[in-house]
C-alpha cells in the first residue's frame, strides 16, 4: 500500500484527495474483518474536498488527503463514539479529540471508526459490544487488543494511518500481532483531550502505520501542548525527519536488552529477537545487558492502578448523563445500578469491582498505595537502565496471534499477554512495536523498542534502523 508520505506528496502535487478518500471509504465499507464499526462517508467527502481546495489555494499539508481510521474511544464532533460499550450506545460527541483535529488540520481525513475492546479493556478485541475482530491473515485468530480494529485496518490496507490508545499495550500488542508499526508516545506527549478515559495516568493516544516513518510523521503532527489537557507537555516536538540512511542511526548506538525477557517466549519469537540482536551488532550497534528488576511486578501493579483509575473514570456512566438508561427503575439508585449492569460487559464490570476494592477504606494502603510505591521502583529501574543504553530492545508479545476464544475464559492468561508492554505505561516512557518477520505459520512478529522519557524522536530513528534490518 502507498505510504501516508507518498500519498500526501501526490496530493500536494495535484492528485485528488477526494479520489484517495473514495478508495479508502470503499475498502472500509467492504471490510470483512469487523475491524470497522462506522464509516464516516459524508464527513470524509467534505474533509477531502476541503483538503483539495486548500492544496489548490497553495497550501502544502504534511498529511494531504491521507485516510485515517480512529479508535471508537476517540471523539469526532457530531459522530457517535461509544468505546464499543452498550452503555454509550448512541452517544454523539459535541467536539473532536485534539489528536484527531490536529491530524485533520494537517490534511488527514477520518474515514471510519475502528472496533476495539470495550473501554479498551482487553488484549484480543473480543470484549467489544460489536463482536470480535478477525486477524487479517487468519480469521480464526484474534488481531490483539484493545486497538485491534485500528491495527487490522492498517494491516488490511483500509487506511495507511490509524489511531489507537495504549494504557498497558493496546497499541503495541495488536501492531505486533498484525504486522504493522504501533507507537505509544511518552506520557504527556499527545493530548488526551477527547479520548474516553480508562486509566488517566497511563493512557496515551498513538499512531498505527505501515512503516516507522509514517508513524513518526503522525506523531509529530499530533504531539505538543494542548490547553485542554493539563498533562500534555510544554516541551518542543521532535521533527518527523528520520536519517536518510536508516542504518546510520544504529552505528554506535547502545541497545539494551533484558535477559529475563527471553524466558517464556514462543520459540519463533525468541529466534527473531536473537536474529535482531545479531544484525544490530553487524550494523555497528553495541548490545548492553540491562536489568529491570521490578518489571516482574508490572502486571500486578497495573491491575491495581489501572482498575482503580478505571473505576473512578467510569463512575460518570450512570444512565443519567450519557448513553444507555435502564427502563422502569423505581428510584435513582436503581437507575444507576441497572443501567450499569445492563450497559457494561463482564470484563468492564470485573475491572470496576477490582478498582473499587483497591481504592476502598482499609484496602487502599495495602493495594493502591503499595502499587504506587512499586510503580516508582519500576520508573527508577528504567532510569538506571537508560543510564547505560539509548533504548531497550525486547519482545512485544510472548506469542504471535492466538486463537479466538483461547484466553477469553481465563482473565489471568489474557492479562499476561501484556507482560512486556505494561512497564512502559507505568514509567511513562515511549515504546514502539516494529514488524520483524513472521513465525512458522506466517503470523507477524513485532519487536519492541523502549526509550527514555521524551526520546520519542530518537526512538523512531533507531526503530527505522531495526525495521530495515527486519526486511
Write out the catalytic residue numbers.
Answer: 71, 146, 170
d(CA 425, CA 201): 8
Does position 166 interact with ligand GLN (CB under 6 A)? The reply is: yes
| Nearby residues of 125 by Cβ (< 8 Å), 6 or more positions away | 115, 116, 117, 132, 133, 142, 143, 144, 145, 146, 148, 149, 174
How far out from the chain centre does Cα 462 lie?
Answer: 19
Non-local CB neighbours of 26 within 8 Å, separated by 6+ positions = none
Applying CB under 6 A, which of residues 82, 113, 125, 167 lies at the interface with ligand GLN? 167
According to DSSP H, which parts of 198-316 are helical?
Answer: 212-222, 267-282, 298-313
d(CA 344, CA 314): 10
Estimate to the nearest angstrom the gap between the alpha carbon of 212 and the chain centroid. 14
Strand 67-71 with 109-114, pairing: parallel
Give the shortest CB-428-to-ligand GLN separation in angstroms. Answer: 14
Three cell numbers written together for 275:
536474529
User: What mask, x for binding ligand GLN by CB under 6 A, covers residues 64 to 103?
Assistant: ----------------------------------------
Q: How far apart are CA 285 and CA 130, in angstroms?
A: 45
How many angstroms separate the CA atoms of 261 and 213, rounded? Answer: 27
Handedness of CA 368, 371, 186, 265 (dihedral sign): negative
Whole-angstrom distance, CA of residue 35 vs CA of residue 145: 11
Does 418 participate in binding ligand GLN (rule CB under 6 A)? yes
Q: Least Å distance between CB 88 and ligand GLN?
A: 16
Q: CB-wise, 98 or 167, nearer to ligand GLN? A: 167
115 binds ligand GLN (CB under 6 A): no
Binding mask 195-234 for ligand GLN (x = CB under 6 A): ---x------------------------------------
When asked if residue 170 is in the footprint of ligand GLN (CB under 6 A), the reply is: yes
Q: How far is the CB of 123 from ligand GLN (least distance, A)?
A: 4
The residue (of 37 and 240) whose beta carbon lies closer to ligand GLN is 37
Applying CB under 6 A, the span of 115-123, 281-289, 323-331, 403-411 interacting with ligand GLN comes to 115-123
Closest separation in Å from C-beta 422 to ligand GLN:
7
For 225, the grid coordinates are 501542548
H or E segment and range at residue 166:
strand 161-166
Which residue, 87, 9, 43, 77, is CA-closest to 342?
87
Nearer to ligand GLN among residue 65 and residue 122 (C-beta): 122
| Binders of ligand GLN in range 18-37 (CB under 6 A) | none
Q: How far, in Å, CA of 368 to CA of 360, rounded?
A: 9
With H, G, I as helix, E, B as strand and everything else as coil, classify residue 441. Answer: coil
* Pick 302 or 454: Cβ nearer ligand GLN: 302
Q: In terms of CB distance, is 63 or 202 closer to ligand GLN?
A: 202
Only segment of 53-61, 95-103, 161-169, 249-257 that touches ligand GLN (CB under 6 A) = 161-169
Give Cα 354 to chain centroid, integer Å: 24
Site for ligand GLN in 303-322 (CB under 6 A): 306
Instruction: Tell me the window of 117-125, 217-225, 272-280, 285-293 that interacts with ligand GLN (CB under 6 A).
Output: 117-125
Q: How many C-beta neighbours within 10 Å does residue 4 have?
A: 29
Report CA torsion sign: 21, 25, 31, 36: positive
Question: Which residue's Cβ has the minimum distance to ligand GLN?
Answer: 170
**Which of positions 429-448 make contact with ligand GLN (CB under 6 A)?**
none
CB of 184 to ligand GLN, least distance (A): 8
CB of 420 to ligand GLN, least distance (A): 12
Binds ligand GLN by CB under 6 A, chosen from 67, 122, 256, 345: 122
- Distance CA(273)–CA(395), nearest Å, equals 7
Q: Are 425 and 302 in contact (CB under 8 A)?
A: yes
Task: Give the nearer residue to ligand GLN in terms of CB position, either 8 or 197.
Answer: 197
362 Cβ contact partners less than 8 Å away, ≥ 6 residues apart? none
- Provide the grid cell at 111: 474515514
Of 48-56, 120-128, 374-382, 431-439: span binding ligand GLN (CB under 6 A) = 120-128
Q: Does 128 interact with ligand GLN (rule: CB under 6 A)?
A: no
- Residue among 107 and 188 whose Cβ is closer to ligand GLN: 188
Per rule CB under 6 A, is residue 344 in the interface with ligand GLN? no
Query: Is 169 a binder of ligand GLN (CB under 6 A)?
Result: yes
Q: Tell me which residues touch ligand GLN (CB under 6 A).
A: 120-123, 146, 166-170, 198, 306, 418
Amino acid at each position: 500500500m502507498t505510504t501516508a508520505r507518498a500519498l500526501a506528496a501526490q496530493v500536494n502535487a495535484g492528485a485528488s484527495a477526494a479520489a484517495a478518500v473514495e478508495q479508502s471509504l470503499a475498502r472500509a465499507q467492504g471490510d470483512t474483518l469487523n475491524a470497522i464499526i462506522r464509516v464516516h462517508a459524508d464527513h470524509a467527502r467534505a474533509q477531502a474536498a476541503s483538503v483539495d481546495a486548500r492544496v489548490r489555494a497553495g497550501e502544502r499539508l504534511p498529511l494531504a488527503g491521507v485516510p485515517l481510521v480512529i479508535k471508537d474511544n476517540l471523539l469526532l464532533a457530531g459522530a457517535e463514539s461509544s468505546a464499543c460499550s452498550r452503555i454509550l450506545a448512541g452517544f454523539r460527541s459535541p467536539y473532536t479529540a485534539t489528536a484527531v483535529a490536529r491530524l485533520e488540520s494537517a490534511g488527514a481525513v477520518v474515514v471510519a471508526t475502528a472496533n476495539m475492546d470495550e473501554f479498551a479493556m482487553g488484549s484480543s478485541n473480543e470484549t467489544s459490544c460489536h463482536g470480535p475482530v478477525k486477524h487479517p491473515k487468519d480469521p480464526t485468530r484474534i488481531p490483539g487488543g484493545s486497538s485491534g480494529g485500528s491495527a487490522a485496518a492498517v494491516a488490511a490496507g483500509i487506511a495507511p494511518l490509524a489511531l489507537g490508545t495504549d494504557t498497558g499495550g493496546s497499541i503495541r500488542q495488536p501492531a505486533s500481532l498484525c504486522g504493522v508499526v504501533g507507537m505509544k508516545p511518552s506520557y504527556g506527549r499527545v493530548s488526551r483531550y477527547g479520548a474516553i478515559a480508562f486509566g488517566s495516568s497511563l493512557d496515551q493516544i498513538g499512531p498505527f502505520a505501515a512503516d516507522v516513518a509514517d508513524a513518526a510523521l503522525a506523531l509529530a503532527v499530533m504531539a505538543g501542548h494542548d490547553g485542554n489537557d493539563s498533562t500534555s507537555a510544554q516541551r518542543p516536538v521532535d521533527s518527523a525527519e528520520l536519517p536518510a540512511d536508516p542504518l546510520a542511526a544504529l552505528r554506535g548506538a547502545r541497545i539494551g536488552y533484558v535477559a529475563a525477557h527471553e524466558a517464556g517466549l514462543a520459540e519463533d519469537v525468541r529466534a527473531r529477537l536473537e536474529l535482531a540482536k545479531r544484525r544490530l551488532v553487524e550494523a555497528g550497534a553495541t548490545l548492553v545487558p540491562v536489568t529491570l528488576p521490578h518489571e516482574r511486578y508490572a502486571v500486578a501493579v497495573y491491575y491495581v492502578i489501572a482498575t482503580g483509575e478505571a473505576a473512578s473514570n467510569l463512575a460518570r456512566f450512570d444512565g443519567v448523563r450519557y448513553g444507555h438508561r435502564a427502563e422502569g427503575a423505581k428510584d435513582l439508585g436503581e437507575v444507576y445500578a441497572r443501567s450499569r449492569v445492563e450497559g457494561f460487559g463482564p470484563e468492564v464490570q470485573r475491572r470496576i469491582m477490582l478498582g473499587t476494592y483497591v481504592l476502598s477504606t482499609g484496602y487502599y494502603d495495602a493495594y493502591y498505595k503499595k502499587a504506587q510505591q512499586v510503580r516508582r521502583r519500576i520508573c527508577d529501574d528504567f532510569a538506571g537502565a537508560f543510564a547505560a543504553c539509548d533504548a531497550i530492545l525486547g519482545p512485544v508479545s510472548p506469542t504471535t496471534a492466538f486463537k479466538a476464544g483461547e484466553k477469553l475464559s481465563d482473565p489471568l492468561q489474557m492479562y499476561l499477554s501484556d507482560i512486556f508492554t505494561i512497564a512502559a505505561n507505568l514509567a511513562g516512557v515511549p515504546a514502539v512495536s516494529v514488524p520483524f518477520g513472521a513465525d512458522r505459520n506466517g503470523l507477524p512478529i513485532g519487536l519492541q523498542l523502549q526509550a527514555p522519557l521524551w526520546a520519542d524522536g530518537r526512538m523512531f530513528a533507531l526503530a527505522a534502523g531495526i525495521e530495515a534490518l527486519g526486511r
